[in-house]
Structure 1
Amino acid sequence: MTDEQRGDSLADQAAAWVPPWDRPRPPAAEDTTTPPDEPAQPPPDSEEPGAGEPQRVEAASEEVGAAAPEQVGSAAPEQVGSAASEQVGSAGPDLGAVTKGTAGESGDAADVPRRQQAGRRRVTAVPEPAPELSDTELRGALEAILLVVDEPVSELVLAQVLEQPAERVGPMLDEIAAGYTAAGHGFELRRAAGGWRLYTRPEYATYVERFVLDGQSVRLTQAALETLAVVAYKQPVTRSRISAIRGVNCDGVIRTLVTRGLIEECGTETDSGAFLYRTTTLFLEKLGLNTVDELPPLAPFLPDDVEELADATR
């Protein structure tokens, strides 16, 4: 056979070749290898997703491999590859959809308790606002607290303890203080050291001292009172400045006042580095003052020749 005749015969074979998937399907022969007790496979057109596609793909592969190797290899490789990939692709998405759907359903079912637990953890109890006290209840609560405090307490602290607005606490304290004064009680409510506290009235101080001291005197010495007065009016002041004003060494007296909590250190002087001293809140509390600005002026107590005395000391 010549090359020309051989080429014509191959061209005729390629033109007459029919793909396996377009060929008429032969009647299915009975499968004698299937055990009698094994259930029969569902037909290819079954409604179950992915049931018949793998068998059709395998059958097409067997037919393509067994039909005509020469025809498949020389005639139309593109047709075989594209058709086989189309059939596998048409079966693949169904299988993937089934697998994905099954996995998604099981994942969602497993995630339900987790989402519920996360939701429970995110839910936080909102504290209920404190009920607003009536004027009578607020007055009684303030009086009860003021009876047990051992130092002046501010309006803000009282408002936080009672869970009431500070705008109500301040006017109520003023009202209580005015009521005690009008009723003539032996005690009064007054502001001292930035807070409020109950104090006995000055006209009954003799009886209170007789009960508390019982004949014992714990008063400060004259030197301690003078030093404390210098600190109160000149604060912040150094030790050397106090000694210069009093004319004597006051180291021992300052240690006594610091020990009793009436004065305290408040830094150092910029030029000399000496310690500075000032009065404490205990000093204000003992004198019944709110700030040091309420101290009486010194002018009425100064001698007439104070300038001459100052020049003499220089």
Structure 2
Amino acid sequence: MGNEDRRDSLADQAAAWVPPWAPERRPAPADAPAPAPLSEPGTEEPAPGAVVPAPDLASDAGGPAPDAATGPATATGPATATETATQTGPGAGAGPGAGLGAGGRRGRGRRVAVPEPTVVELDDAELRGALEAILLVVDEPVSELLLAQVVEQAPERVGRMLDEIAAGYTAAGHGFELRRAAGGWRLYTRGEYASYVERFVLDGQSVRLTQAALETLAVVAYKQPVTRGRISAIRGVNCDGVIRTLVSRGLVEDCGTEPDSGAFLYRTTTMFLEKLGLNSVHELPPLAPFLPDDVEELADATR
């Protein structure tokens, strides 16, 4: 037998060989109709061995895709190696079925409600103790909103509790009190015990402001924001040195410049309100009772 005959014989044997796991092939009857094509007319047949993506049943039919375990098979007969790799091989989640959740169900269009964090409601005794502990360590007035954020309670409830604490200190006659000042709350010593506190803190040292500093501070408080030139015109003397002293004490600060002249503007600070026990500059006493009766004559004389 020649080489060409041997090769033909081996090719025929390979073509006729049937693997043991394959179903038995039976010849089709002569009058059996030809099998219908799997694709619709006008569509191209995929090449042999090509990976065919599964159709998006949810987008076409408007409902969830059938379960992969119980859904109808797309083709009859045993699955080939290419189809098995397409369904279960790596990269299967990148195809049209990547949006399927557990059990092959598509969750498109559903919104998951995220539960809001629960706020633990403190009882009155614990809330009172927490606020008192914070107020003992603050070095400046603290607002109700900040206290409410720290204790994680409603600002309205914190405000009511602060009022109750202040009323309780006053009724009990403590040497300190809780007051609202400079837009916040802070503990202060009572006025009737000021002499004892000054004796302990000052220890004979005087830190009082001079008359010139008090006058300049008063002008800034009632005319703010105001420039140095305006302060000097009101007082009648130069006040540059006094302004520097008040700035170093933390009672006055600059707050920008005047649009026309470019001169620095000055205003009072939060420490000024705190030292005077005021909540805002609107609580300053009116100037009318302290003005002389002939103020208009004095004004005309200076013109």
**TM-score normalised according to structure 1 size:** 0.66
**Cα distance in structure 1, aligned partners of 2:26 and 2:237:** 116
Aligned residue number for residue 69 of structure 1:
none
**Cα distance in structure 2, aligned partners of 1:52 and 1:168:** 87
**Cα distance in structure 2, aligned partners of 1:52 and 1:225:** 116
1:103-142 map, 5 Å: 103-107=85-89, 111=93, 128-142=117-131
Which one-letter code corresponds to 2:195 in the other structure? T
Note the residue ranges of structure 1 that are not aligned, 5 or more in a row: 1-30, 57-82, 117-122
Contact 2:225 2:267 in 1 (8 A): yes
SS at match of 2:89: helix
1:219 matched to 2:203? The reply is no
Number of aligned positions between the proteins: 244
Contact 1:268 1:275 in 2 (8 A): yes
Aligned residue number for residue 254 of structure 1:
243
Q: Could you give the per-residue CA deviations for residues 106-146 of structure 1, whole angstroms, max 9, x where no partner exists?
A: 2379659xx89xxxxxx9x9774231100111111111100
**Cα distance in structure 2, aligned partners of 1:143 and 1:108:** 63
The root-mean-square deviation of aligned C-alpha atoms, in Å, is 4.0
Give the stretch that moved more between structures: 295-304 or 168-177: 295-304
Choose the corresponding residue for 1:209, options 198, 203, 216: 198
Per the TM alignment, residue 305 of structure 1 is displaced from its structure 2 partner at its CA by 1.7
Per the TM alignment, residue 287 of structure 1 is displaced from its structure 2 partner at its CA by 0.9
SS at match of 1:197: strand
What is the percentage of aligned positions where both structures have the same residue? 75
Contact 1:42 1:52 in 2 (8 A): no
Which one-letter code corresponds to 2:185 in the other structure? W
**Cα distance in structure 2, aligned partners of 1:225 and 1:255:** 13
Contact 1:239 1:276 in 2 (8 A): yes
Choose the corresponding residue for 1:296, options 275, 285, 289: 285
Aligned residue number for residue 235 of structure 1:
224
Choose the corresponding residue for 1:156, options 137, 145, 152: 145
1:63-74 map, 5 Å: none
**Cα distance in structure 1, aligned partners of 2:10 and 2:255:** 105
Give the stretch that moved more between structures: 275-284 or 259-268: 259-268
Rg bigger for which structure?
A: 1
Contact 1:263 1:277 in 2 (8 A): yes
More helix by share: 1
Which one-letter code corresponds to 2:18 in the other structure? Q
Contact 1:191 1:197 in 2 (8 A): yes
Q: 1:313 to 1:47 in 2, by over 3 A?
A: same
**Cα distance in structure 2, aligned partners of 1:88 and 1:285:** 94
**Cα distance in structure 1, aligned partners of 2:210 and 2:294:** 27
SS at match of 2:122: coil
Per the TM alignment, residue 105 of structure 1 is displaced from its structure 2 partner at its CA by 2.6
Which one-letter code corresponds to 2:179 in the other structure? R
Q: 1:288 to 1:41 in 2, by over 3 A?
A: same
Contact 2:86 2:92 in 1 (8 A): no
Per the TM alignment, residue 222 of structure 1 is displaced from its structure 2 partner at its CA by 1.1
Q: Could you give the per-residue CA deviations for residues 214-245 of structure 1, whole angstroms, max 9, x where no partner exists?
A: 00111111111110000001111111111111
Q: Could you give the per-residue CA deviations for residues 2-57 of structure 1, whole angstroms, max 9, x where no partner exists?
A: xxxxxxxxxxxxxxxxxxxxxxxxxxxxx9759x9xx95269xx637xx799xx9x
1:169 matched to 2:158? The reply is yes
Aligned residue number for residue 275 of structure 1:
264
1:41 matched to 2:18? The reply is yes
**TM-score normalised according to structure 2 size:** 0.69
